[in-house]
Structure 1
Amino acid sequence: MDVTGSVLSSDDNSPLPSATIYEKGTANTSITDVNGTYKISVENSQAVLVFSFVGYVEQEFTVGVKSSINVSLNPNVRDLDQAIVMGYGNQKRSKISGSVSTLDSKEITSIPILRTEQALQGRSAGVQVTQNSGQPGSAQSIRIRGTGSINNSEPLFVVDGIPSFGIDYLNPADIESMTILKDAASAAIYGARGGNGVVLVTTKKGAVNQPAQITYDTYYGMQEPWKKVALLNAEQYAIIMNESRASAGLNPDPALSNPSLLGEGTDWQDAIFQRAPMISHSFSFSRGTENSSTALGASYFLQDGIVGGEKGRFERYTFRVNTTQSGGKKFRLGQNINYT
């Protein structure tokens, strides 16, 4: 059955061109034209249509017996009012005209990662993160909108307002948010140093009048190759070699004359690859009063390699202290200490 209708904005009833309409649970999709109208064919009356548009709250409707569904989408005010850390300070997302991407602490810690740079993988358009080696703890290469120089194309890292050579020393659980400035307008305050883009990192701090809060996170996992190459065993290899020599008019190799005596042989993939553990412990404490705030963090991370085991081990200890004391509206003293 066919369903038609229009998609409008609840603010001024203006049409929303290129709004997306899709049947939930299927790949059946349609978009609105310049007048905000659409047409989509669904399987039956139980189908659920999902209406979405950038900057608006998504809505769902069950088709039922209706052949026409008109939808009025509400603006996503929460996203527009989100505070974004910029070079010039905090700004609302709705007032930012440059190309900026943000990650909050939930997104950063949603998957187990070894290095903080790995949190950027696949999370932001135009940002490419590659691992230079398969060894645990190896460096990551970050490219924002391609390679900008034949020399150093790494972006500028700014941690709590202080330029840094990297962020590999940070514990991902200690990060409050990460902001990526991609274009020239957003990174202009940093001059030539921001030519390859800028990554702004804000670490967690204690809040004013915050009760004492203790957090402990841990996980344990095992790593192994997800797929191995299918190879011949010793007996199968001998049979194939003898057949190839016979096809070429040669006598069988004396060492392979009786393949059944060779058995399975050695599976070198099993000999080289092994299961490797990955362990993480993270502890944090924060509290605040009317004039001061304190945040402490400590972590331990260990990862063995699937090749070499303990010989490829990566082990990291981190400790962080962040305190702030306020002496009125015009005076504030803070300390930020990181040890890795």
Structure 2
Amino acid sequence: MARSAASDRDDARSDEARSDDARPSEEPGGASPPALAVEGVSKRFRDGEESVLAVDDVGLTVERGSVVGLLGPNGAGKTTLIKCALGIVLPDAGSVRVFGTDVGDGRRAAYADVDAMLEGARNDYWRLTVRENLRYFATIAGVDPDSVRGRHDRLLDRLELTEKADTPVRELSRGMKQKVSLASVLAGGAELVFLDEPTLGLDVESSRTLRRELRRLAREEGLTVVLSSHDMDVVEAVCDRVVMMANGRIVADDTVAALRSGTERDAVRVVSADIDDAVVATLEERFDVRAVETDRDGRDHGGAGSTAVEVAAAGDELYDLMDALREAGVTVEDVETVRPDLEDVFVDRTGTEGDANPRGRSP
């Protein structure tokens, strides 16, 4: 559980909760149950005219060993859904099952192997050193910290924290504290972890380190991750699957490749020194011109004074575009296809632009 609910987490990680009889090991038919199954969950806050339906009849399944990204603009319901899945917020309707155990029937058993790092929460004890935090959170997970010292050493090494292992967390930078929080979440060997904005405050290299370690843990150790982030690069690089939310409901759920191929945002980028304002105006009358970039000294586009125009065109429209350029006396220097990225899909599916913070910039 998240550090903000440490007492619940202590219960969830007790030896009693780890007993073989406490959790169903198989679904009907012999298959192992998914790591997380959310069915028909709804949550409303406040009453009357001020009421807000934060989560609206959401269903979601996360298979074991997968990394699932959860995206949505501010107010989409992501955090509320995560808190419902963690038992921090009780839903008004629906059910949550963790490794086959219904949270309502067996809270301690359900959360025995679950941990979380939540944005805005104090996820570590800052007076303790980095290593002391790992030992502490392993202990409250019901694990002898001496028995997993090797695991802790590997986490410190892979997250580039070894040199700071005996440094109090309060003396570390924001980015280093974020990495310590992740290491603490993984210290007790949780099988399902929820990470809310895990790269917040990290520099580029630290973010790459975190992505690499998450992929390794999922691939080699079967860790299941639900990752909520505004950093599209991280989601695209790490996640097997992406779930997008808007207005409390799921509006997309698929692999990154499938989501990108399903959007109508294919375009072509044409570069030429012959493209001037008049040519651009002509193109805008006939086509969907998405961007115009002028490189007056030619360093970026390969020719003095070249201009790049991005136009939504596919199929017959591409031929029409080439005809229009030829009629305007434009000699094409370069042309390339522009494929939609995850940000484009996000805008299409959620109807929002700007809230996604696509490249990890501080909101």
Larger helix proportion, structure 1 or 2? 2
Larger strand proportion, structure 1 or 2? 1
RCO higher in structure (CA 8 A, sep ≥6): 2
State the structure with more CA Rg: 1
TM-score (norm 2): 0.20
